[in-house]
């Protein structure tokens, strides 16, 4: 996503779903990803970014959860914490027999104002913000999602 293999202005729309952003340790890499989204859009092209709502995550973080996937024979546990500017999820998948597998996921907690700044620097304008998949109004404290739509400059 930092180097999209398409020519400038290849698309009339670009979408980034389900918090597929913010995984880079270096914030400049997040800037580059957004810059690439802008680059491949035609002038006036539309974009949608669906991201977690950082303020809501901080206030409502579930530190631990566990579930069983009986069909697959797996126990899946997740430990979550806020570490600096990241929400960190440590996942352990334990089969009925065998050794557990462990993974770590880190997502930078990026708020709306930072997104607005990043967008402006890359020639994008955020025109609308929604707080969920049903199109509900965005509330920084209550909305689970930060869904932004807009356009690339003409």
27: helix, strand or coil: helix
pTM of the model: 0.89
57: helix, strand or coil: helix
Place of tokens 């352990």: 92
Average pLDDT, the chain: 96
CB crowding 39-50: b at 16 or more within 10 Å, else e: bbbeeebbbebb
Q: How far is CA 95 from CA 76, 119, 133, in A?
A: 9, 43, 33
pLDDT for 98 equals 87
Cβ atoms of 112 and 13 within 8 Å: the answer is no
> Per-residue confidence at 66, pLDDT binned at 50, 70, 90?
very high
pLDDT for 70 equals 86
* Separation of alpha carbons 137 and 90, rounded Å: 31
pLDDT tens sequence across 8-23? 999 999 999 999 999 9
* Separation of alpha carbons 77 and 75, rounded Å: 7
């Amino acid at each position: 996503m930092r180097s999209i293999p398409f020519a400038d202005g290849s698309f009339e729309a670009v979408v980034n779903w389900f918090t597929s952003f913010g995984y880079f340790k270096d914030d400049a890499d997040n800037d580059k990803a957004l810059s690439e989204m802008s680059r491949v859009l035609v002038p006036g092209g539309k974009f949608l970014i669906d991201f977690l709502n950082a303020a809501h995550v901080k206030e409502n973080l579930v530190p631990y959860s566990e579930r069983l996937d009986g069909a697959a024979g797996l126990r899946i546990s997740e430990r979550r914490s806020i570490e600096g500017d990241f929400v960190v999820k440590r996942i352990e998948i334990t089969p009925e027999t065998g050794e557990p597998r462990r993974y770590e996921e880190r997502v930078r907690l990026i708020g709306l104002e930072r997104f607005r700044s990043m967008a402006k620097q890359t020639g994008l304008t955020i025109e609308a913000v929604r707080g969920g998949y049903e199109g509900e109004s965005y509330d920084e404290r209550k909305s689970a999602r930060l869904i932004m739509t807009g356009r690339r400059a003409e």
